[in-house]
A and B are shown apart, each in its own frame.
Chain A
Amino acid sequence: MRRIYPHRHLLGIEGLTRPEIVALLDAAESLFDVSRRSVRKVPTLRGKTVVNLFYEPSTRTRTSFELAGKRLSADVINISVSTSSAVKGESLLDTVQNLQAMQPDVLVIRHSASGAPHHIAARTRAAVINAGDGTHEHPTQALLDAFTIRRAKGRLEGLEVAICGDIVHSRVARSNAHLLTTMGARVRFAGPRTLLPVAGESLGATLYDRIEPALEGADVVMMLRVQRERLSGSFLPSTREYSRTFGLSPARLALAKPDAIVMHPGPMNRGVEIDPRIADGQQSVILDQVEAGVAVRMAVLWILAAETNEFSATGEPRPAP
Chain B
Amino acid sequence: MAAIGSPPPLLLIVGVRAVDPAQQLDDVVDVVVEDGVITRVGRGAATDDLRRADRAEVVQGEGLLLLPAFVDLHAHLREPGQEYKEDIASGLAAAAAGGFAHVCVMPNTRPVNDTRSITEAMIARARALSGPALHPIGAITMGQKGTELTEMADLKDAGAVAVSDDGRCVTSSAVMRRALEYAKTFDLPVIQHAEDHALTEGAQMHEGAIATRLGLRGWPRVAEDIIVARDVLLAEATGARYHVAHISSLGAVRILREAKARGIAVTAEVTPHHLTLTDAAVLGYDTACKVNPPLREQADVDALREALADGTIDAVATDHAPHSTLEKDCEFAEASPGLIGLELVVPVLLDLVRQGALPLGRLVDALTRAPARIARLDAPAIKVGARAELCLVDPNLSFVLDPARLRSKSKNTPLLGKQLTGRVKMTLAAGRVVFIDGEGAAT
Q: Indicate, yes or no, whether A interacts with B.
A: yes
Report which A residues bind B (CB closer than 8 A): 14, 91-93, 111-116, 118-119, 133-137, 171, 174, 197-200, 202-203
A171–B215 CB distance below 8 A: yes
For the complex formed, measure the closest distance between the CB of B288 and the CB atoms of chain A, giving whole angstroms.
13
Q: CA–CA, A158 to B332, complex, Å?
A: 37
Interchain CB contact (< 8 A) of B333 among A14, A113, A137: A113
B331–A113 CB distance below 8 A: yes
- Which B residues lie within 8 Å of A136 (CB)? 214-216
Q: CA–CA, A136 to B330, complex, Å?
A: 17
Number of contact residues on B: which range applies?
A: 20 to 34
- Which A residues lie within 8 Å of B84 (CB)? none
B224 an interface residue at 8 Å Cβ cutoff? no
A115–B331 CB distance below 8 A: yes
Q: CA–CA, A134 to B205, complex, Å?
A: 15
Q: CA–CA, A118 to B335, complex, Å?
A: 14
B310 an interface residue at 8 Å Cβ cutoff? no
B441 an interface residue at 8 Å Cβ cutoff? no
For the complex formed, measure the closest distance between the CB of A116 and the CB atoms of chain B, giving whole angstroms.
5
Enumerate B291-335 residues with CB–CB distance to A below 8 Å. 329-334
Cβ contacts B245-286/A at 8 Å (1 or 0 each): 000000000000000000000000000000000000000110
- Which A residues lie within 8 Å of B204 (CB)? 114
B338 an interface residue at 8 Å Cβ cutoff? no
B333–A134 CB distance below 8 A: yes
B218 an interface residue at 8 Å Cβ cutoff? yes
A91–B330 CB distance below 8 A: yes
Q: CA–CA, A310 to B141, complex, Å?
A: 68
For the complex formed, measure the closest distance between the CB of A119 and the CB atoms of chain B, giving whole angstroms.
6
- Which B residues lie within 8 Å of A203 (CB)? 212-213
Contacts A136-B214, A200-B212, A202-B209 known; A115 to B330 CB distance under 8 Å? Answer: no
In the complex, what residue of chain A is closest to B332 when comparing beta carbons? A115
Q: CA–CA, A115 to B214, complex, Å?
A: 8
A92-B331, A113-B332 known, 11 other contacts, Cβ within 8 Å: A113-B334, A115-B216, A115-B285, A118-B284, A119-B331, A136-B214, A136-B216, A171-B215, A174-B213, A198-B208, A198-B211
Q: CA–CA, A313 to B207, complex, Å?
A: 44
- Which A residues lie within 8 Å of B208 (CB)? 198-199
B215–A135 CB distance below 8 A: yes
Enumerate B215-229 residues with CB–CB distance to A below 8 Å. 215-218, 220
Q: CA–CA, A58 to B170, complex, Å?
A: 40
In the complex, what residue of chain A is closest to B217 when comparing beta carbons? A135
Main secondary structure of the interface of B (DSSP, over half): loop
- Which A residues lie within 8 Å of B285 (CB)? 114-115, 118-119
For the complex formed, measure the closest distance between the CB of A89 and the CB atoms of chain B, giving whole angstroms.
12
- Which A residues lie within 8 Å of B218 (CB)? 198
- Which B residues lie within 8 Å of A113 (CB)? 331-334
A93–B330 CB distance below 8 A: yes
Q: CA–CA, A93 to B285, complex, Å?
A: 15
In the complex, what residue of chain A is closest to B201 when comparing beta carbons? A233
- Which B residues lie within 8 Å of A118 (CB)? 284-285
- Which A residues lie within 8 Å of B220 (CB)? 198
- Which A residues lie within 8 Å of B330 (CB)? 91-93, 119
Q: CA–CA, A174 to B209, complex, Å?
A: 12
Q: CA–CA, A133 to B334, complex, Å?
A: 14
> Can you list 19 A-B contacts with CB-CB less than 8 angstroms, sorted by A residue number?
A14-B213, A93-B329, A113-B334, A115-B332, A116-B331, A118-B284, A118-B285, A119-B285, A119-B330, A119-B332, A134-B216, A137-B215, A174-B213, A197-B212, A198-B208, A198-B212, A198-B218, A202-B212, A203-B213
A114–B333 CB distance below 8 A: yes
- Which B residues lie within 8 Å of A115 (CB)? 214-216, 285, 331-333
- Which A residues lie within 8 Å of B214 (CB)? 114-115, 136
Q: CA–CA, A92 to B211, complex, Å?
A: 22
Report which B residues bind A (CB closer than 8 A): 204, 207-209, 211-218, 220, 284-285, 329-334
Q: CA–CA, A135 to B202, complex, Å?
A: 13
The 8 closest A-B pairs by CB, nearest first: A136-B215, A115-B285, A199-B209, A202-B209, A113-B331, A135-B215, A114-B215, A113-B333
Q: CA–CA, A93 to B333, complex, Å?
A: 14
For the complex formed, measure the closest distance between the CB of B197 and the CB atoms of chain A, giving whole angstroms.
15
B332–A114 CB distance below 8 A: yes
- Which A residues lie within 8 Å of B331 (CB)? 92, 111, 113, 115-116, 119
For the complex formed, measure the closest distance between the CB of B326 and the CB atoms of chain A, giving whole angstroms.
9
For the complex formed, measure the closest distance between the CB of B440 and the CB atoms of chain A, giving whole angstroms.
35
Q: CA–CA, A171 to B216, complex, Å?
A: 11
B332–A174 CB distance below 8 A: no
Q: CA–CA, A118 to B284, complex, Å?
A: 8
A199–B332 CB distance below 8 A: no
In the complex, what residue of chain A is closest to B207 when comparing beta carbons? A198
Most B-side CB within 10 Å, residue of A114, A136, A197: A114
In the complex, what residue of chain A is closest to B218 when comparing beta carbons? A198
- Which B residues lie within 8 Å of A133 (CB)? 215
For the complex formed, measure the closest distance between the CB of B215 and the CB atoms of chain A, giving whole angstroms.
3
- Which B residues lie within 8 Å of A92 (CB)? 330-331
For the complex formed, measure the closest distance between the CB of A90 and the CB atoms of chain B, giving whole angstroms.
12
For the complex formed, measure the closest distance between the CB of B189 and the CB atoms of chain A, giving whole angstroms.
34
- Which A residues lie within 8 Å of B213 (CB)? 14, 174, 202-203
- Which A residues lie within 8 Å of B284 (CB)? 118
Interchain CB contact (< 8 A) of A174 among B215, B329, B334: B215
Contacts A119-B331, A134-B333 known; A114 to B216 CB distance under 8 Å? Answer: yes
Q: CA–CA, A116 to B204, complex, Å?
A: 14
- Which A residues lie within 8 Å of B212 (CB)? 197-200, 202-203
For the complex formed, measure the closest distance between the CB of B290 and the CB atoms of chain A, giving whole angstroms.
11
Most A-side CB within 10 Å, residue of B209, B214, B284, B330: B214
Most B-side CB within 10 Å, residue of A93, A116, A203: A116
- Which B residues lie within 8 Å of A200 (CB)? 212
For the complex formed, measure the closest distance between the CB of B109 and the CB atoms of chain A, giving whole angstroms.
24
In the complex, what residue of chain A is closest to B331 when comparing beta carbons? A113
For the complex formed, measure the closest distance between the CB of B350 and the CB atoms of chain A, giving whole angstroms.
33
For the complex formed, measure the closest distance between the CB of B342 and the CB atoms of chain A, giving whole angstroms.
28
- Which B residues lie within 8 Å of A116 (CB)? 331
Q: CA–CA, A174 to B285, complex, Å?
A: 17
In the complex, what residue of chain A is closest to B287 when comparing beta carbons? A119
- Which B residues lie within 8 Å of A197 (CB)? 212
Q: CA–CA, A118 to B333, complex, Å?
A: 13
- Which A residues lie within 8 Å of B333 (CB)? 112-115, 134
For the complex formed, measure the closest distance between the CB of A82 and the CB atoms of chain B, giving whole angstroms.
19
- Which A residues lie within 8 Å of B217 (CB)? 135
Q: CA–CA, A197 to B333, complex, Å?
A: 19
For the complex formed, measure the closest distance between the CB of B337 and the CB atoms of chain A, giving whole angstroms.
15
For the complex formed, measure the closest distance between the CB of A186 and the CB atoms of chain B, giving whole angstroms.
19
Q: CA–CA, A134 to B334, complex, Å?
A: 13
In the complex, what residue of chain A is closest to B204 when comparing beta carbons? A114
In the complex, what residue of chain B is closest to A169 when comparing beta carbons? B215
